[in-house]
Chains A and B, each alone.
Chain A
Amino acid sequence: MSLVKDGLLYSDEHEWAMADGDLITIGITDHAQCALGDVVYVELPEIGKRLEKNKRFGVVESVKAVSDLFAPVSGEVVDVNIGLVDKPEVVNSDPYGEAWMIRVRVQNSGELDGLKSPEAYTEFLRQIAK
């Protein structure tokens, strides 16, 4: 069973979101990095880009697969983890920490209500494993 970290919120697309006021940090979950295998490329948006909830904002690519990244919330990209471009393997080794991908300033923090708690995401993983 993959690691589900406390204190984060989760999307059905296997992204996590950490809220700090209206600043949301986003990455992909341990389940996602495990399913991908060794990550080789990460394509992230530029600072200033406006993201729309549930729309594609980037790509994470492993040897085996290309996976779209979907915005769990709407808002403006205020920070991007450029380090991942040179060290994509960090996505595999530290998906919840060093492999944070973008920081977004949300306008409507109510959008976070649609995301799953750690318990709900754990249950979700159990369901899809069947």
Chain B
Amino acid sequence: MTNKTPLYDVHVALGAHMTEFGGYLMPVRYTGEKEEHQAVRQAVGIFDVSHMGEVVLCGPKALEATNWLISNDVQNIENGQAVYGALCKHDGKIVDDIICYRRSAEDVFICVNASNRRKDFAWIQQRLATRYTADEVTAEDDSDQWAQIAVQGPKAIELVSKIYGIDLSSLKKFHFITTPAFIARTGYTGEDGVEIYLPPHEALGLWNKLLDAGKALGIRPCGLSCRDTLRLEAGLCLYGNDIDESTSALEAGLGWTIKWNKAGGFVGKEALLAEKESGLKRHLVGLELLDKGIARHGYALQSEGGREIGAVTSGTISITLQHPIAMAYVTSAFANKGTTVFVDIRGKRVAARVVALPFYRRK
């Protein structure tokens, strides 16, 4: 069954090319990927991300329970602060990558990937049932109660401040407010900006206000296509492409989200610790292709001598850097910056260089 977000009609009215993604009909692009991508890098772009899922943990042990479920730490942060992390299985592989918003000591709001909403909720419920009573913590799938609009770009803060009549410039990165609205300084594009969570019936009003007030700033509605090229330039993982239940949080380069010394540990800690101690067999790396060609998910990587040493997980042509880029898992021996590898692009060997992530960093 394919669902529609509260903004479906306006996407169609704007001439968006639609597609099915994560169980929802979503806009792929409106005016064109290049134009939308550049709008986010240079001005401001808005994204309908209402398809994302939201799971809420409530109760006196909400923080402790969240800490046990995820790689990162919500106990050592403030109310109004958020963290990015991985939900891991006992073997250290990734169920999902999520952002946890600490609303209070008894209330954690977790944004999960659209495609994983039901899986994540079931996983969380099952884990909690083995360790906590309902009086200690409960989990609710609140996804249907929330629409979400991302406003991203150098002019995003200015625009959203104007619309709400508040000054968001002092809102720190990965912090959020809940009045006058749930506005978080987070994003998936590598630019400054916010993600706004709001009731579905308010989404259309906000979307139109943003487009109207943002006209003078050069605002563009942006689809999933440029969302992908933006996040890839920013070196951010896409679940299903770069991370999944066969990739460990360490291999995927998410070790920085792991707070090893959390009280009570976390699901997957032992397996990840063992992996860390014995050394990783492969690493997710960034690649810059040295010749024409787009490396796509699944394309094989070869060494100079023709040995298969890995595979591409995501690839595109970087609109900002104007050359092809990719992320790939590669055998650890070849994972150092500057190593030359070869991507098999439909039978043609194209040279690529291992580079540090991200490919693009906002100045």
Contacts and interface: CB of A to CB of B under 8 A. Distances in A.
B292 A64 contact: no
B266 to A, nearest CB: 37
A38 B32 CA distance: 7
A38 B33 contact: yes
B225 interface: yes
A64 B296 CA distance: 9
A41 B292 contact: yes
A34 B33 contact: no
Contacts of A63: 33, 225, 229, 294, 316-317
Contact of B225 (A34, A40, A59, A64): A64
A38 B34 contact: yes
Interface of A is mostly: mixed
A63 B317 CA distance: 7
A79 interface: no
B221 to A, nearest CB: 15
A37 B294 contact: no
B292 A37 contact: no
A89 B33 CA distance: 12
Nearest to B292: A41
Contacts of B346: 59, 66
B127 interface: no
Interface residues of A, number: 11
Chain B interface size band reads 10 to 19
A76 interface: no
A61 B294 contact: yes
A40 B296 CA distance: 14
A41 B324 CA distance: 11
Interface in B12-41: 17, 28-29, 32-34
Nearest to A35: B17
Interface string B283-302: 00000000011101000000
B28 A37 contact: yes
A59 B346 CA distance: 11
A66 B34 CA distance: 17
A62 to B, nearest CB: 8
Contacts of B317: 40, 63
A66 B28 CA distance: 16
A118 B292 CA distance: 35
A37 B229 contact: no
Contacts of B32: 37-38, 92
25 contacts: A34-B17, A37-B17, A37-B28, A37-B29, A37-B33, A37-B225, A38-B32, A38-B33, A38-B34, A40-B294, A40-B317, A41-B292, A41-B293, A59-B346, A61-B294, A63-B33, A63-B225, A63-B294, A63-B316, A63-B317, A64-B28, A64-B33, A64-B225, A66-B296, A66-B346
Given A37-B17, A64-B225, 16 more contacts: A34-B17, A37-B28, A37-B32, A37-B225, A38-B32, A38-B34, A40-B294, A41-B292, A41-B293, A63-B33, A63-B229, A63-B316, A63-B317, A64-B28, A64-B33, A66-B294
Interface of A: 34, 37-38, 40-41, 59, 61, 63-64, 66, 92
Please name the 7 residue pairs, one residue from A and one from B, whose CB atoms are nearest each other, closest first: A38-B33, A40-B317, A38-B34, A63-B316, A63-B33, A38-B32, A37-B33
